Amino acid sequence: MSNRPVVYIAGPFRAETPWKVEQNIRRMEDVALEVAKIGAVPLCPHTMYRYFDKSLPDEFWLDATVGLLLRCDAILMCGEWIRSAGSRNELEVAEAICMRDFDAFAEWSKFRKWVSDRVNGGGDKT
């Protein structure tokens, strides 16, 4: 059984133009790769659903991503997440269930240590 924590990548998706949406996705892809490089399993809905944008109402996707979040060990808040209603909601859900949350910019070293502790079998699971 793997000790690798599954980390939900939260950040803006929606934007004014398709190109800005794509830029948001690419930023989250970069973060997801860095998360994998330190040993965690990134769950990045941005990349999973990039081509489904506008195929169903936003409410469906917002609900679906919360369902994915509930299966994770932590949430990593990325980019300008504070401007994203979806990201703010995801953080509220994570906090409501006492999930570990980290700000990718302000707490990267703390996040790295948390991942390392879990991958190497140390530390508690919270």
Residue 14: CATH number of its domain? 3.40.50.10400
Residue 118: both structure tokens together: 């879990």
Is position 1 within any domain?
Answer: no
pLDDT (0 to 100) of residue 46: 94
Whole domain around residue 115: which residue ranges? 6-119
Q: What are the φ and ψ backbone dihedral angles of 101, each rounded to 5 degrees?
A: -130, 145
pLDDT (0 to 100) of residue 121: 81
Q: Average pLDDT of each block of 10 consecutive residues along the chain (126 residues)?
A: 90 94 96 98 94 89 94 96 94 97 96 96 60
Is position 125 within any domain?
Answer: no
Is position 124 within any domain?
Answer: no
Type of residue at 58: D
| Tally of domains in the chain | 1
Is position 17 within any domain?
Answer: yes
pLDDT (0 to 100) of residue 50: 87
pLDDT (0 to 100) of residue 90: 96
What is the spatial distance between Cα 86 and Cα 83, in angstroms, rounded to a whole number?
9
pLDDT (0 to 100) of residue 11: 96
DSSP state string for the chain? ---PPEEEEE-----SSHHHHHHHHHHHHHHHHHHHHTT-EEE-HHHHSGGGTTTS-HHHHHHHHHHHHTT-SEEEE-TTGGG-HHHHHHHHHHHHTT-EEEETTTSHHHHHHHHHHHHTT-S---
